Structure 1
């Protein structure tokens, strides 16, 4: 499973038509007619990223327009990194990498993945990472949010809903006031345009791509906007391009229920180990009782007190059956052993430490940039808070684990409407989609929807696979992905391979 908007719908729609396609298919653009030439003809000044990184890990800054409808105006810096291909004679080009998000930096991804990627891939590609616009070292945005305002998970409760509406309105207002012009131009379409500028600056006619989670949508949007510059695209743990973005969160809630049923069945067969119930129904009742008890009196953990809502917010844990059973059993033991203080109040663990951002990056950068993209990409966010209330009540009944979290109010209800329409992904560009059966963030149904939208794609499903992220982490899908990246050959048909017996070790 977040930005401001672009000013004039008509102006930007026209500019998008011109800038994203640039020239007719086979025409050679004239210098004076290419508005992006001042950006695409620059030579990046590569230098070692930092003293703690490998010597061959280089970084540079690429200039891009803030507003592609006004390429002669203000600019943004895009931080780019690379590890050169190890085989000069075998080199095919660049493999652009994106870790997901939105709001996640990707500058370190070449080094992060280098250990796991097969040598034959590293011989053929420069591994290229980047921080998307507004993120990390790429002209980072901030909304000036407090620690409380940065909290994104809000369960629905009638007594606190008005407070949640105030939170959502405040975040949107602060992002308008503090995010400035940059936040208004944080969209997936603009990030895709940035990717194409990076392609040109690197001197490549086409780019190959490995993107995870949100990065699959970014890759699909790039393929839609620049189909003739798309080489070998691997989309790992795919988002549903037809449900951007509110529907994506609701899809998480839908997918959590069958995962909960699977977990309860698995755990019931191991009652001698976990003591949570001898039947699936008994395990589910134990879990629900634990949630209710934690809502009455938070359970002490090493990370601080945990409420029932906190437990439900971590629904993704239930997709990893063994880890989830261990977690729930530990919570239950803590709840059972809880002793009241002399005044009758429950003991509480230490408060969780706040998440720290990288040096020079605003503390709220991840949240500010994420809301910018999520809110600006889509016109489907309702504007009426009462619609969110009704949907949250309905979805908490339908999907008790996470339904209300997914459907309640967000800052997008108060965001300025986006200037550009949501991208319709519908093309025949070749791509390989990789999907674990039990993915907590982008459920299997989402991967299948991406596959339908990219009609030239093939899909490899890891039956029994757990976790978010498939390649190159030892999955049975690794062989298909490596073959595609090194030879360009997609599987002749969609494939299903089986994860090893026992709980799989998902990437995330």
Structure 2
């Protein structure tokens, strides 16, 4: 799941071991580097400017913020640490109060496939934290500035609706086979090593190279799963850990969106109520039901014949996805953007000539040409390497049919088959079983459409040493820094700066006032 929108909003996706006890797993993974620790743990970093060329706007911002960048060498395959190596890009902004510096805080934005290097730019939004920590960004292996896996896709994402019939489902099966084959023809030899467990191992090499006895961590969305895996493998080396918008540990994998339909529909209803109160501006309907009926007319029209939106033809495959990615954020400006875009789609559904809204152009370019950020292209190999998918497409069609009545709009998208069902390589390790007592903080919103609240609660239960801060009444993905909620921000800052976990699970109301404890 991608949390890039969170950070964008505030700053401008065979070692057969599963979840052992914390100390046992840490020892086992330390043993993976036996005989080669000196090569990786004692390497000397060469820090340099972050800008890679005249078109590197992110690097320019990093340099202007005083960041430094470097590359860390890690094994491609931790089972063979003397074999082939790769590098992972990192960034650093030093603590602004060196006398009170606590250590290093690594930040991951999610995905999988999200670039971590730019996340140090959050320093300006968390000054008290930035005073105490060196902020560290790390591009996970094969992501961002690192050597990327070539998957030969002409789209940014495999997320599509399977549509209304067996024929339209079969069309999506054909597409997923083509996408998987595109990865097989690219860098097949890299695919088995694009795992979350290997990224967690890379994180621990980074910790060691930085000279830190422990590592603090802030992870959003998929980054919460990565953080949980790190605590499972290297719990004795985990300092202060914050997991925002947690992925359900048992749901993570090729079917990670399969339970999202009800949460997305609830977020859509919340937006529809907002839009109905502004019918004079957007003309989508005067009630929630009328606005939802407008959305349904758009979807039905796209099912009959693709909608003409500028040079693009939007079909039933695309409409649910476009709604979903616009529901990450429940702030008024985000809702206004979605309302304006639905207005355009409603006009196109009536056969009117429309142009592509500027707010939608980048998404459509990526969807139809693959010219976007490539986070999903980088993330799909990670998901497929982490956990096997069923190889029977028929099981997905049966699941869609079983939920078509109660999830008519989003179920055919969230329950659809993925490229992992046709992946050319099998996972070389068993999935990590999350379950440990490392003290940490889980943060989330009750109406999160991307990582639904029941899954967040499941992560909290699996991490028995955790406390949870809930942003009640929010339909958004990402609560800390991104929601503008003083209650959530203060609770997280107090933990990161002072090490104080709440005495119990805490609820913050959407307006920023504490809602009490559970």
TM-score by length of 1: 0.84
Which residue in 2 is equivalent to 1:435? 444
Distance in 1 (alpha carbons) for counterparts of 2:31 and 2:172 = 53
- Between 1:221-230 and 1:280-289, the stretch displaced more is 280-289
Counterpart residue number, 2:49: 48
What is the total number of aligned residue pairs between the two structures? 476
CA distance in 2 between partners of 1:31 and 1:259 (Å): 44
User: Which of 488, 491, 504 is equivalent to 1:480?
Assistant: 491
Please tell me whether residue 455 in structure 1 is matched to residue 458 in structure 2. Answer: no
Instruction: Give the Cα separation in 1 of the matches to 2:320 and 2:158.
Output: 14
Distance 1:21 1:36, change over 3 A: farther
CA contact 1:187–1:376 (8 Å) conserved in 2: yes
- Aligned to 1:483, the other structure's residue is in SS state helix
- The residue number in structure 2 matching 1:153 is 159
**Stretch moving more, 324-333 or 384-393:** 324-333
Contact 2:98–2:131 (CA<8 Å) still a contact in 1?
yes
Secondary structure of the structure 2 residue equivalent to 1:243: coil
Residues 379-411 of structure 1: per-residue CA shift (max 9 Å, x gap): 3x2111111222223333331221111111211
Cα 1:265–1:96 change in 2 (3 A) is: same
Which one of the candidate residues 152, 164, 189 is aligned to 1:181?
189
C-alpha distance in structure 1 between counterparts of 2:197 and 2:80, whole Å: 15
Name which of 71, 74, 83 aligns with 2:84.
74
Q: 1:378 to 1:339 in 2, by over 3 A?
A: closer
Q: CA deviation at 1:138?
A: 1.9
Q: How does 1:213-228 map to 2 (within 5 A)?
A: 213-228=221-236
Name stretches of at least 5 consecutive residues in structure 2 with no aligned partner.
3-13, 52-58, 513-518
Any conservation in 1 of the 2:32–2:78 contact (CA below 8 Å)? no
1:229-308 equivalent positions in 2, closer than 5 A: 229-268=237-276, 271=279, 274-299=282-307, 301=309, 304-308=312-316
Determine if contact 2:19/2:434 at 8 Å carries over to the other structure. no
Matched position secondary structure for 2:318 = helix
Q: What CA RMSD, in Å, does the superposition of the two structures yield over aligned residues? A: 3.3
Q: Structure 1 pair 330/489, CA: closer, same or farther in 2 (3 Å)?
A: closer
Match in the other structure for 1:421: 430
User: Could you tell me the TM-score, scaled by structure 2's length?
Assistant: 0.83
- Aligned-partner Cα distance in 2 for 1:465–1:14: 38
Equivalent positions of 1:345-364 (< 5 A) are 347=353, 349=355, 352=361
Distance 2:308 2:32 in 1: 65
Query: Contact 1:238–1:434 (CA<8 Å) still a contact in 2?
Result: yes
Unaligned runs of 5+ in 1: 3-10, 341-345, 502-508
Mapped contact 1:305–1:349 kept (Cα < 8 A): no
Deviations, residues 403-439 of structure 1 (Å, cap 9, x unaligned): 1111112111112321211111101111111112222
Please name the residue that 1:372 is paired with.
381
Measure how far apart 1:447 and its partner are.
1.3
Which residue among 111, 115, 121 is the counterpart of 1:105? 115
1:127 pairs, out of 126, 132, 135, with: 135
Name whichever of 468-477 and 196-205 sits farther off. 468-477
2:506 to 470, 495, 503: 495
